[in-house]
Every structure is written in structure tokens, then in C-alpha cells.
Chain A
């Protein structure tokens, strides 16, 4: 049982994501952006950072990396895929998830401990949560405002594809306070906050991020 973590040039939280994967007893495999081979992994995480310097648009260049071709094909077949922060942006640019992440409404980079409500516990990455559970994990980005058209928003809400929502003061102007979404198959999740930075209360605000990784463990054991 292996989870791959992709390193693009400019990825920052790749080692943190690998640490979080190992923390729940799964082997983490480093994947390189230029290598289309997924080296036998069962699931993939696209970590946070500023891949390719976020030039052009966040995630716009990474989407064309050789590794993404394979990932996109496998994810469409149902392979669990989690995009965190810059990874979420890449998922949107890849059209694996709808919508886009734009500049925070206050136009600043914002790093804070953020309260979230888990709205959907049926995705591959959120099954270990209770529905409606509130957690606190770090949020840190400059372009985290989730935007989409009305029809997409209605569909996301109607189909239960919103996996997490911000609770309390609006951090970035996201539509309907959306912090994360999933696809119809529930195998792909994009999340703006960082569960990999909340795996213990020594280095994070809480250990509330761990269930994202235990969810995938359960999913893979069950599969």
C-alpha cells in the first residue's frame, strides 16, 4: 500500500505530506514531475507550494507536467487523488475539479489556524470524519478564494460535493465559504487548507488533519 507525493519545481509541502502519510502507517513514494511513471502507487497527493513559481496562473504550468498525464488518466479511472492548496489549484487547472482559485479578497497571503466543517464524509479522503464534524487546521495561501459559476455551485451543493466549509470569519471570499470539493465519484478531493500541517499538536495547531490520511488507509484496505 503506497501513496505517491508529487514534487514539482517549487513544491514546498511535499515532505510534509509524505510525513503525514507515514504517520498513519502508509508508505510514501516521492514522484517527480518529469517522470510519468507512478511507480505502483495506489493514491496520489499533489502538495502545496508554488509550483513553477505560480507563473501565468497557479497550477497552470504544472498541469502539463508529464506526471500529470498519468495521474489524470488514473484519477478518471477512480484512483484516489488529493490536491492540497497548490495541489487543489492544479486539479482545477487540470479540469479534474470544477471552478478556480483566485486571489484572497483582502489581497494578502493569509496564514492562520482555520476552523472547518466537514460537509461530506463519503469521499475517499474524508470517510474517517463524522459528517458535520468541526476541525481546526492551518490555512496558508494568497490565492484561495474558490470561485465558480452559479450552475456549478448549485450542482456542487446539490450533489453534496462540498467536502469542507470555512466556519467563522470569511478568510478569503470563497463562494459559499467552500474550503474543499470532491468529484462525482468522490475519489478526487481538492482542499485549500493543509491537513498535513495538523498531524500533531507539537508542530501544528491540532492533530485534526490526520483523518484525511486514515481515510485513505481505510479506503485502500477495504478496496
Chain B
């Protein structure tokens, strides 16, 4: 086929173009023609199709996501907000921390290893692009039933991919979650979070300004992998038939990324760039149009100067390729020599492919002929916006009326059996089969990692300043009530920060949903965003950025609405953090918060195949008082552990198994409710008996219910008359994953 230039587009206005195959709707294609005043060239069509994909343009979610800005609480900590590659917050002492979470769900289903690996690679480059050194990663994951054959294909591949890539980058993996549910069977969720740190003055932005400045592409050469990843894979529902989509998955090379990180950090340290953008989804189309759009608007790129892995690639393919480990920088001519010298030191390929120009057009040439001439804002920031129809799905009221019929055992043997059943279930069981495949020690600053409530990283070795991050979601609650589900997930993530003694500071999110073209799914999404925005406003935590993943469904079946909420907190002295478990006997155990009959959406209900009922309602004012209590009383807590999925039963099991020191607890009310109910806003704390009076004072001051549960010590978990030997409990807890995935 001959080259389709701007000139030929003008002379052949009626040429039939494959916009539908590229994922564009007829009205979107018509709008492109209107913007350009002619038909797009095939290269322009390629660019618009990937940039206007759901994944890149947020066209279905934008109208809702605005609430994060409109309802934003006042925060002195926010240095860079939504819209850049990642948000940045001030954590004190001149340090800025950036963190963000993204999805890589669809590629990870098609090709689990590479899908998950490049998910890590992508989020790490987002963090690097802000000017930060990446310091840790976390991975919230969702899979189909643990014993399903396809889960055995997907889970080990995803875990190996995350480990294979993250370990090779030298980033400690400090947390995440793994949850199994039928609705994820054909659509697993692989979300990846990265945290980075820099000094305030080192923050970099993605913009191209200053006519005459050079556009430099550096990192890996461009190949034919991942073409149309965002439009073909991430913005469509998987059907039973249709072409194999494997070629749309990118292939990662973590070594190339590691070298790119070190090279970039050396370049940043010498202040050699005006603006920088990584190449992720939509590749060069995204990087060039976003840089130009955020800058003064003009850019000239010679596409034939892009170094290629496969010389047969067409200009359209080069623009759409999502080959990994590439970055695009804007460099002043006076600094280019030093820039290229550093790249050479690290054996990183770097090529000047263009320059910033006056004017407001992004012009791309191919062997001297103009193949793209567009206003970059129309590609990058002024894509279509849909106010999609939404309607409360019929199931919501129906399930709310369902009366749960759950066994609530009362005799000791049945209670003991129930505890074993719960603790050995895939959702509750020990995850070290997974986490032992991740390096948690590299960089030497890991204070806490799985299975602690949050991951914690020291950022200054002299002052002991640190940050903690937790990600949480309870999709079963979001299914019953997406508005409350989002608030409860936010509260849980914040609580998981505070149990360690860190103060919650900022929020990121990855909103995983079914098809936005389904009004019921759109309602779940709108309710979730409203809940999260309201919750963040109430708790005074700004949303710094996030990611939306739609089309997570198989045929007609959407996944449970799964908003993964990440909260970042700051701790002034990591040496003083509170661990999740006691390391001595003869200490007193207390429950903070009140237990109600909350079984809707609980693990106990899930184990009995019941999804209905009414989800708990959040009380964020009380959650904030609980957080203040935990922070003010930090010095007296020997241990503090959040009570969430699995209730007090699972929390206590996790605590006694962590250091293999038992406990004796006495429950005066209905033991099954006390053990398995999942009322939010509860924490189990352990204090030295000398400090119990102080705890009572704190509970009174912050108006939080306080119940003494018992004492630590011994080789048993003793609950009323039930006696569970720790060795036996440990076996039940740790053998599930090796048995399933061994």
C-alpha cells in the first residue's frame, strides 16, 4: 500500500477507512473528519483510535471523575494532582512521594506472564517519569475460583510475571491482595501500584515547551508488539470467538527497564530535561500528543528516525506499537550532548526524533512527507466525552431483601471446625506461596511487607522518615452497595495505615468494572466514584490520581464492581511502627470498635454461597476517631491488627501465627457473631497490662468502644472452651496454596 499522506488525504476524501476495526464508533470517526476538515490519514486514524480508546481517553468515566476535583478536600500536602502521570505529595523534610495504581487486566488474561510483567513495567515508568526513584511495588490481584483449571494457568503465570519483572528491577514488593471469586473467572484483575521518592525540586512534568528544544526517544527499540493494546485489548469485552489477541500483548524486558531507570535518574540528577513522558499505552501516539498538548502545542517529528527492532513496520504500526521500556524527553539543544553521553554510559539507545516548534500543530513526517498534521489537544485531551446512560440494576433491591441463612455454630467443636474452614479457604489462607516469589528485601529499606496490614518503606536512613501504603477493596460490599463499598474500602485502607502508626495522607485508586455500555455497570461506577469522592472529602484525603478499567466482563457477566483503593501515609520514625502481631506473652488483647451482626458480603457468607443482604454502612467520622486513637496511642501498642475479611476469627489466627505465640480470649456474647461478623471500623490491639488504663482513657477520649478479649501467650489459640494448637492451625493456614498451585 502506498504511503497515505496529508496531501493524499485531501485528494482522496472518499477513501473507505477501517475505523470500526480500530475500535472507533461512526460518530467518533465523523468528529475526527470535522476536526481536521478532511479525512484523517491512516496514521492520524491510528493515533486517534488508540488515544480515543476508553483506556486512554476515559471517555465514559470523565464526567464522573470530575468529582475528585470538585469535592477535593483542602490539602497542603498535594504537590501534583490528577492529570499528570502520577500524583505527588509532600511527606516532609523536603521529600516528595509519588504513587499510583494501574490495571493490566486484559493482557494478563491473554498472556499471564507478559501481561502482569508489563503491568509492573508500565506503572514503574509512570513513577519514574515524575522524576522519582521507584522504591516499591504492590499488586492487588483477583482470580476466578481457586480450584478452577484456568486459575491454575493464570495465577502462577501472573505471579511469576510480577516477580520476574519486579525482582529484576530491584523493587521490593511489599503488599497487595489476592481474592478469588467466580466473576473473575474469564477476567482476572491484575492491578499494579508503584511508589517513588524524590526531592521537591526534582519533580518533572510531561510537557513540551520551548521552540527549538529537541524531542528525544530513548530506551528500547520499537517493535511490533502490543499494537493496539489499549484499543483492541483493554477497551473491549472478551467474546467467545474472534481473532486471537495475543499479538496485542506487549513483551517486557526488565533488564532494559532497570538500565533505563538508572540512566533516567542520572539524567534527572543533572537537570537535563524540560519535560518527560514514558511510552505506555498508545506508545508514541500518546507520548508525542500528550507532550505537545501539555506544552505550547507545536512539535515536528521525523518518524523514520525512530529506531526499530523490526524494519518492516509501517508508520501506522510505529505510532501504535506499545513496545515497552521506552521514554520520550524534551531536551534543550545545549544539553543534548551530555544527555546522549549518559545514555551511552548505560548502553541505552537514544535518538533525536524531532523538535518543539512554534505553532499549535503536531506534525509527523515519514521520509520527508507529512503523514500527520493535527492539533495535539484534540488527540490527547479533547477526546470524546460520554455521559452514558445509567440505571440502578434490578439485582440491587432484590439482594437487599434476601435474608441470609447462615449456620452460626454455638458448640465448641462446630466453632473450631468453622475456624479451620475459614482460615484454610483460599481467600483467607496464607499467601506466602505467592509473596515468597517476590523480593521484599532489595534496596534495604523495607520495614513492613505482606502479611502486615500495610507495606512500609524507610525513605531517609538518618531521620528514619517512612511511608506506608495499603490497598483494599471489598467487592462483595461494593456489589451490594457500591456507594458504601467505596467508602468502606477507603476506610479500611486508611485504617491499615494507621494500625502501624502512620498518618494517612493521600489516595490513589484503580476502578475495575464491567462494560460501561451496560447502564447497570455504569450506575455501579457512578455510585462508586460518588462514594469515594464523598469519603475522601470527609476524611480530608485528596485523590492524587488513578486508573479506570472497564470492559471487565465475559459475555454478559460483569465482574463484581472492584474499586481498589490505595492509601499512602507518613510515619516520622519507622523504628516506632506497630507490628500486626505480639512478640511476647502475658500482654492484654483488646478489641476497638463494636461488633454488630454484619454477615452480608462477609467471607462466612461467601463460603456458604450467599451474596445477598444489606452491606454495612460506613461511619467515617468514627473511622477518623479510631485512626486518631491509634496514632495518639501508638507508643502503648505492642501490636495492632485490622479486623476485616473473616472477622475477629481470622484476625486472631493471623496474629497468633505470625510469631507463633498463642492467646487466650473470652467472648461473652454469641461466639459465632463475635468471631465471624465483619462489622467495619474495628482493630485488635495488644498492650502491656501497665498501659491498659491509658488505653481505657484513649477509648473514652475518642469515643470508641473497648472490649477486653484476653491475653497473649502459650502454644494454643484458646477461645472460650475451644483449644486450637498453633501447629495444627498453621498447617491448615499454610497448606492451601501449595496444595492448589504447588
Contact = CB atoms under 8 A, between A and B. Distances in A.
Q: Which of B262, B437, B444, B461 has the most CB of A within 10 A?
A: B444
Contacts of B346: 9
Interface string B438-481: 11111111110000000000100100000000000000000000
Contacts of B258: 9-10, 12, 50, 53
Contacts of A9: 255, 258-259, 262, 346-347
Q: Which of A13, A52, A111, A197 has the most CB of B within 10 A?
A: A111
Nearest to B159: A108
Interface string B125-169: 000000000000000000000000000000000001001100111
B438 A12 contact: no
A109 B259 CA distance: 21
Interface string B257-268: 011001000000
B441 A55 contact: no
A108 B163 CA distance: 9
B574 A111 contact: no
B442 A112 contact: no
A13 B169 CA distance: 11
A2 interface: no
A16 B167 CA distance: 15
Nearest to B449: A111
Contact of A53 (B253, B262, B438): B253
Given A109-B163, A202-B574, A16 B437 contact: no
Given A9-B259, A10-B255, A50-B255, A109 B437 contact: yes
A203 B445 CA distance: 6
Contacts of B446: 203
A108 B441 contact: no
Given A9-B259, A9-B346, A49-B170, A111 B441 contact: yes
Contacts of A197: 441-442, 444
Interface in A175-218: 194, 196-197, 199, 202-204
Contact of A109 (B164, B432, B444, B461): B164
B561 interface: no
B112 interface: no
B502 to A, nearest CB: 15
B160 A108 contact: yes
A138 interface: yes
A138 B255 CA distance: 23
B436 interface: yes
Interface string A136-147: 001010100000
Nearest to A34: B345
A54 B255 CA distance: 8
A202 B441 contact: no
Contacts of A97: none
Interface in B236-276: 253-256, 258-259, 262
B66 interface: no
A111 B444 contact: no
A76 interface: no
B575 interface: yes
Interface in B316-359: 346-347
B436 A112 contact: yes
Contacts of A16: 442-444
Q: Which of A53, A109, A194 has the most CB of B within 10 A?
A: A109
B444 A15 contact: yes
Nearest to A196: B444
B255 A55 contact: yes
Interface residues of A, number: 29
A153 interface: no
A10 B437 contact: no
A111 B436 contact: yes
Nearest to B444: A16
Interface string A45-66: 0001110111100000000000
A52 B441 contact: no
Contact of B170 (A12, A138, A203): A12
Q: Which of B163, B253, B255 has the most CB of A within 10 A?
A: B255
Q: Which of B436, B442, B574 has the most CB of A within 10 A?
A: B442
A19 interface: yes
Nearest to A14: B170
A110 interface: yes
Contact of A12 (B440, B442, B458): B442
B552 to A, nearest CB: 28
Nearest to A48: B442
Contacts of A48: 442
B441 A194 contact: yes
B659 to A, nearest CB: 12
Interface string B416-438: 00000000000000001001111
A10 B259 contact: yes
Contact of B444 (A19, A55, A112): A19
A108 B435 CA distance: 11
A200 to B, nearest CB: 9
Contacts of A53: 168, 253-256, 258
Nearest to B166: A109
A111 B440 contact: yes
B255 A111 contact: no
Interface string A1-36: 000000001101101100100000000000000000
A110 B347 CA distance: 30
Contacts of A12: 168-170, 258, 442
Contact of A138 (B167, B253, B262, B441): B441
A90 B435 CA distance: 27
B448 to A, nearest CB: 10
A16 to B, nearest CB: 4
Contacts of B437: 108-111
B458 A13 contact: no
Nearest to A113: B441
Contacts of B160: 108-109
Contacts of B442: 12-13, 16, 48, 140, 197
Nearest to B347: A9
Contacts of A52: 255
25 contacts: A9-B255, A12-B170, A13-B170, A50-B168, A50-B258, A53-B168, A53-B253, A53-B255, A108-B160, A109-B167, A109-B437, A109-B439, A111-B436, A111-B440, A138-B441, A140-B442, A142-B167, A197-B441, A197-B442, A202-B574, A202-B575, A203-B444, A203-B446, A203-B447, A204-B444
Given A140-B441, A203-B444, 9 more contacts: A12-B168, A48-B442, A54-B168, A111-B436, A111-B439, A111-B441, A194-B441, A197-B441, A197-B442
The 6 lowest CB-CB distance pairs between A and B, nearest first, are A53-B255, A12-B170, A16-B444, A197-B441, A50-B168, A138-B441
